[in-house]
Homo-oligomer: A and B are copies of this chain.
Amino acid sequence: MDSRWGTSRTEAFSDGVFAIAVTLLVLDLAIPRTEFADPWRAIAHEWPSYLAYLTSFVTIGGIWLAHHGVFRRLEYVNSRVMRLNLVLLLGVSFLPFPTRLAAEAIRTTDAERAFVIFYGLCLFLVALSFGALWTAVLRDRGLLRPEVTEEEVQTITVATAPNIGLYVAAIVLAVFLPKVAALGYLVIAVVAVMRARGDQPEHARGVAARRS
């Protein structure tokens, strides 16, 4: 009664959205011609844009790694997971907007706090939708490939959960120290990338080789 989807086109479409969201960020980097008289200073002056660019790039890179890790273990996607994946992609493709706002605001005292909080809320919602996607997978274990062990499932759960809490903490921090919170978003993203585990446990190597 509940129908299912193959994973390959879902991966392809998701990879497309991840790759474009990550690459579009560069369009927001610019140096006005009026600053060309002192070019090195002009380049350095753009540091909030680089920080925002780097943060969103690493954040999306980390989500892609986690997405890769989850989908490689799925045999099917059910309707709920499919919809939550669309919600996740909606969030990811939206990120360039708050990224740009945060980059512009860091030098504008008026809007700095608000836009850094807004950026954090968007990152939080993306983390939340990824958590919801993984929870939906756990509610229908039949979606997982038969060789996936309980240990691997635990590892993904442990890797997914803390980000949501960390973003809440960073957003609270942004109320008082927006610049520090902005740096915090980057740290959360870097840690997520560093902690990302592969899509195959070492002992399953032979199996995976034959499958790929």
Contacts and interface: CB of A to CB of B under 8 A. Distances in A.
A190 to B, nearest CB: 10
Number of copies of this kind of chain in the complex = 4
Contacts of A15: 9, 12-13, 16, 19
Given A24-B27, A111-B36, A200 B17 contact: no
A29 B200 contact: no
A162 interface: no
B33 A23 contact: no
Interface in A140-167: none
A165 to B, nearest CB: 24
A105 to B, nearest CB: 7
A118 to B, nearest CB: 6
Given A3-B198, A11-B12, A16-B18, A61 B86 contact: yes
Q: Is the interface of A mostly helix, strand, loop or mixed?
A: helix
A193 B86 CA distance: 10
A201 B3 contact: yes
A205 B130 CA distance: 26
B40 A199 contact: no
A173 interface: no
Interface stretch (A90-98, A131-139, A180-188): A90-98
B16 A110 contact: no
Interface string A91-109: 0011111001100110010
A72 interface: yes
A72 to B, nearest CB: 6
23 contacts: A1-B202, A2-B202, A3-B200, A3-B201, A3-B202, A5-B199, A9-B72, A13-B68, A16-B16, A16-B18, A16-B23, A19-B20, A20-B24, A26-B96, A31-B101, A33-B108, A36-B108, A37-B110, A39-B105, A43-B118, A75-B209, A82-B196, A86-B193
